[in-house]
Structure 1
Amino acid sequence: MKPILQAQGLRLAFGGVKAADGIDLDVGEGEFLAIIGPNGAGKTTFINMCTGWLKPQSGRILWRGEDIAGLPPRRITQRGIARSFQLPQLFTEHTVLRNLALAIAAREGAFSLLRPLLRPGWTKEAMEILRGFGLESLADTRADALNEGSRKLADIAMAVALKPRLLLMDEPTSGVAASEKLGIVETLARVLRETGVSAVFVEHDMEVVSRFADRVAVWSQGRIVANGPPEAVLADPEVRREVIGIEDAHAAP
């Protein structure tokens, strides 16, 4: 699988805490990569470095061969990398449709207070995206009236409106009711695969990881301690004990 993103020797420390301690990781074209690990392991720091919110102290982040480490978020987005946050970043006073139109306007660099936001072409594109996410019926609903699951999908729909080739997601099911999680990720995975978008997602729900990830990378204290197919990584006794919190019943006392 051809890599589109390559992290090479990334290091970043906050005081004496090593958030990234020599991270080497490739993301393949069309791949769904899950990142798991305990809180404070450096997972979100990695996403922040790849999207320009943090600058590594050393190392490179290659996007299709270009080193983008340290570029501002807007320039990284323009190159085809988008992200969603653990807490949805919606304009809560606006409708879902206007949120999508704002994302399209940002992508086009054409937003102006003197021109209408809901232009016919943008409205049509926004509605097509919402239809793909099953949010068409909520187009005229204010973002602050959505339930958590719909807020998550709307937030990711805004990222998709930027037309990325790679989407990085920080805990896409965080705060979502257990009964909604799998349905939300099924919708998300379908849209991304249909549009050919690669994905990296930080996730704590191991059922979501096992069902939707092509590969799993395990973070611990700023390092990758395991990396491979979900069935192998999630069955590893050390990963199960240290990351998932399950003791192996057959392990020696």
Structure 2
Amino acid sequence: MTVLLSARGLKIAFGGLKAADGIDLDVMQGEFLAIIGPNGAGKTTFINMTTGYLRPQAGSITYDGRPILGMKPRRIVKEGIARSFQLPQLFTEHTVLENAALAIAARDGPWSPLAPLLRGGIRAEAEELLDRFGLLPLAGRRADALNEGARKLADIAMAVALRPRLLLMDEPTSGVASSEKMAVVETLARVLRQSKVTAVFVEHDMDVVARFADRVAVWGQGRIMALGPPDEVLNDPAVRRDVIGIIPAEDGHAAA
């Protein structure tokens, strides 16, 4: 497989806390890579460094063979990397359709609020995008009236509107009802794979990780503790004890 993103020797500290302490990681083109680990392990910091919101104190990041450290977030988006946040970044006073259209307009260049937003080409593309995410029936609804699952889908649809090759998602199921989680991620996985978008996602739900990740990277104290296929990583005794919270019992059976 081809390496799409490569991080080498990333280091950053906040006071005495080492959020990244020599991170080396390759993201392969076309894969779904899950990042798991306890709170404060440096997972979101990695996303922030990759997308230009933070600059590491040491190390390098290359995307498609080109260095991207020092680029502003907007430039990184233009290069083909998009992200979603733990809290959906929607224009809550606008409809779902208008949110999608705003993302498309931003992608295509400067947009004046004096120009019609839902003009022909943009409206058609926005409706097609929402249809792919199963959101077209909600197109006329204000974003602040959506449940959390639909808000997450709408937020990620706006990121996909930017036509990225790599999408980084910070806890895409955070706040989503347990009964909705799998359906939300199934929709995300289907759309992203159909669009040939490589995905990196921070996730705390191990059922989601086991079902949708091609590889899992385990973060701990700013380092990668384990990296590999889900069945291998999620059954590692140290990962089960320190990250998932399952303590192996003396008789060989796991105890929570």
TM-score by length of 2: 0.97
The residue number in structure 2 matching 1:195 is 195
Q: How far 1:119 moved relative to its partner?
A: 1.3
- Alignment check: 8 A CA contact 1:37 1:243 kept: yes
Q: Hey, what's the Cα distance between the residues in 1 that align with 2:78 and 2:67?
A: 14
Give the counterpart letter for 2:69 in structure 1: A
Give the counterpart letter for 1:121 in structure 2: G
Secondary structure of the structure 1 residue equivalent to 2:60: strand
Q: How far 1:32 moved relative to its partner?
A: 0.2
- Alignment check: 8 A CA contact 1:56 1:70 kept: no
Q: How far 1:71 moved relative to its partner?
A: 1.1
Fraction of identical pairs, as percent: 73
Secondary structure of the structure 2 residue equivalent to 1:111: coil
Indicate whether 1:117 and 2:106 are aligned.
no
Give the counterpart letter for 1:6 in structure 2: S
The residue number in structure 1 matching 2:107 is 107
The residue number in structure 2 matching 1:151 is 151
Q: How far 1:138 moved relative to its partner?
A: 0.4
Cα deviations across residues 144-180 of structure 1 (Å, max 9, x unaligned)? 0000000000000000000000000000000000000
Q: Hey, what's the Cα distance between the residues in 2 that align with 1:128 and 1:251?
A: 50
- Alignment check: 8 A CA contact 1:35 1:217 kept: yes
Secondary structure of the structure 2 residue equivalent to 1:8: strand
Q: Hey, what's the Cα distance between the residues in 2 that align with 1:9 and 1:239?
A: 23
The residue number in structure 2 matching 1:142 is 142
> How many residues align structurally?
252
Q: How far 1:248 moved relative to its partner?
A: 1.6
Give the counterpart letter for 2:248 in structure 1: D
Give the counterpart letter for 2:31 in structure 1: E
Cα deviations across residues 76-101 of structure 1 (Å, max 9, x unaligned)? 00000000000000000000000001
Q: Hey, what's the Cα distance between the residues in 2 that align with 1:58 and 1:66?
A: 17
Q: Hey, what's the Cα distance between the residues in 2 that align with 1:155 and 1:179?
A: 20
Cα deviations across residues 93-125 of structure 1 (Å, max 9, x unaligned)? 000000001000110113112211111101111
The residue number in structure 1 matching 2:25 is 25
Alignment of 1:1-253 (within 5 A): 1-249=1-249, 250=252
Q: Aligned-pair RMSD on alpha carbons?
A: 1.0
Q: How far 1:43 moved relative to its partner?
A: 0.1
Q: How far 1:70 moved relative to its partner?
A: 2.2
Q: How far 1:247 moved relative to its partner?
A: 1.0
Q: Hey, what's the Cα distance between the residues in 2 that align with 1:34 and 1:5?
A: 14
> Could you list the runs of 4 or more consecutive aligned residues of structure 1 that deviate by over 3 angstroms after TM superposition?
none
Unaligned stretches of 5+ residues in structure 1: none
Q: How far 1:69 moved relative to its partner?
A: 1.2
Cα deviations across residues 201-241 of structure 1 (Å, max 9, x unaligned)? 00000000000000000000000010000000000000000
Give the counterpart letter for 2:165 in structure 1: R
Give the counterpart letter for 1:58 in structure 2: A
Q: Hey, what's the Cα distance between the residues in 1 that align with 2:197 and 2:182?
A: 19
Secondary structure of the structure 2 residue equivalent to 1:187: helix
Secondary structure of the structure 2 residue equivalent to 1:11: strand
Give the counterpart letter for 1:37 in structure 2: G
Q: Hey, what's the Cα distance between the residues in 2 that align with 1:11 and 1:237?
A: 27
Secondary structure of the structure 2 residue equivalent to 1:46: helix
Secondary structure of the structure 2 residue equivalent to 1:83: strand
Q: How far 1:251 moved relative to its partner?
A: 7.3
TM-score by length of 1: 0.98
Higher alpha-carbon deviation: 160-169 or 62-71: 62-71
Q: Hey, what's the Cα distance between the residues in 2 that align with 1:134 and 1:78?
A: 26
